[in-house]
Structure 1
Amino acid sequence: MRIATYNVEWFNSLFDNTGALIDDDSWSSRWDVTKAQQTAGLGVVFGALDADVVMIIEAPDTSPHRDARKALAHFAARFDLRAREAVTGFTNDTQQEIVLLYDPDVLDAVHDPQNAADAPQFDGQFHMDVDVDAHPDPITWSKPPLEIALTTGSGPVRLIGVHAKSKAPHGARNDAEATRISIQNRRKQLAQCVWLRKRVEQHLAAGEHLIVLGDFNDGPGLDEYEKLFGRSGIEIVLGEGAEEQLFDPHAQMVLSRRFGASPSTARFKRKGEPYLQALLDYVMVSQGLRQKAPIWQIWHPFDHPACYADVVLRDGLLAASDHFPVVLDIDL
């Protein structure tokens, strides 16, 4: 079975309010890419993936006037994708949903949110003292994680799709304000990861197979504020020091080697400067799934030999998004 996570930059902008694709030469929300170019690129990438399950980050909007499921059904039909059924969870007001697209001929998938005293439902609040004033602060998700119960040929598997808070200091007017906002955002991002880890431990304690996947906007050694807080959100979710940990080989590679070459899943364009690359997207599995011969790949067009050799796929990946798919092939 092939399970992927893919952050599609401003996927929502490619659809009108009826869910139909706006496949023309107007500009998409990607820099210097038209809607037709981005749509065609996404068709190439999703077709080449041929995945049974895709956790889409920044999926089309669900709101009173828009429906992510309808939009993705039109997209899947346009490119004749096996993964053609969509499952949504708690919606948000960012126009960037988390949606699961899957092949209904291979498995079943339902939104199945969990709740516990120390890890409330993800559309609620989690209380944690993030500013060290002895008063718990209310933590919320702008994009609540999508909790999915999968029924596969070999039994049940839990999925949690994640889009954690960005640490970028958006709106800062000077260096001092940028520092303050960055620290504040990192505190919130780490608190979200603590909340998520508590849910992970809930599933592990129940002996369930679990996959946590998506865009964490974080990684070991990614910014200077990690030293201030001691560890990254990724290390928290993986369960550093815990009896049972999740596993992602790309995270493990960076954690075990702070210097030298490292994998990346995103490539950002900066005006007048070289591209910035980062490892932001992960597919973490429980130890039981790690025993099922999993193979991870990052479809980075310049790091993955097969993606680079296929010119159509390479160009499609570059036009489709500033993130690249992380793919897990596993015997389920």
Structure 2
Amino acid sequence: MTYEPDIDRTEPVAISDPALPRLISVRQRVKNAYKILTSNSLLLSGTLILLVTVLAVACAGWISHANPILQSLSHRVEPPSAEHWFGTDQLGRDMLSRVLYGGRATLIIVLFSALAIAPVGLLVGILAGYYGGVIDTLFMRITDIFFAFPRLVLALALSAVLGAGLFNAVFAIVISAWPPYARQARAEVLTIMEMDFIKAARLSGASDMRIIVHYILPLCASSAFIRLALDLSGIIIIAAGLGFLGLGIQPPTPEWGAMISEGREYISTAWWISLFPGLSILLMSAAFTLLGDGLRDTFDPKKELSQHDQPTT
């Protein structure tokens, strides 16, 4: 006969696994993200279009087995058919394969540009708003100089000076796109600096770096992220414009803007050469526009305040 300790089976047993709270937190975050995604039709539509497009571009080799740069003059300028769903171009290259692989080049430009635009703008705006004085005046005057030029014109001018290529195209887009983020971040920092928790942090002896990184940057990053989502459609247009003028990624690598430029001479006889890259640009721009509008509507604090201020019946 074995002795069993007197344990109340009705009491909950504490689980000592340290990974459990983290797992519950991840599940809760996924549940919250799913709730936010399904509660806004614009956000859901943009996300679905973007996911489908990214998956198609990533799986280009499985969807189309044709080589996007392999020429076949015997099959040049063939209309869409069962063998070539999007037809062939003036050099006999499969258009479906070129559109899919061209999406990779466009998305790489957009991704690298997005990773640099917001940090540059936030850095300039936060430093200008936090320190003020000469730094604020200098940074804002530099921002005004870039604001004086239209974004597309400035990007084209920089690309023409620097030359064609992926890095130069990304650099031109970043230089032409960061000023609005700096202005927005500066305005937010000036408001945040008047809040009590910033004054308390200074009185407690927190350094400038700690205040900027731990208090100011998280409050400015969310609005910059929403603005970036709204700007991605314009970045795609600029990237396509650079490719159209021969200032982006160079042949034989397929790129949507360059493909439209190649097909403009055949627009009356082989419309598919320019149509499908153009539709791809339109689809991606629409996806990012819907995504940005959905994020703005979901996380706009002014909208929430206006809803709370409405009288109840």
TM-score category (smaller protein): under 0.3
Relative contact order, higher structure (CA 8 A, sep 6+): 2
Higher Cα radius of gyration: 2
TM-score, scaled to structure 2: 0.28
Which protein is richer in strand relative to its size? 1
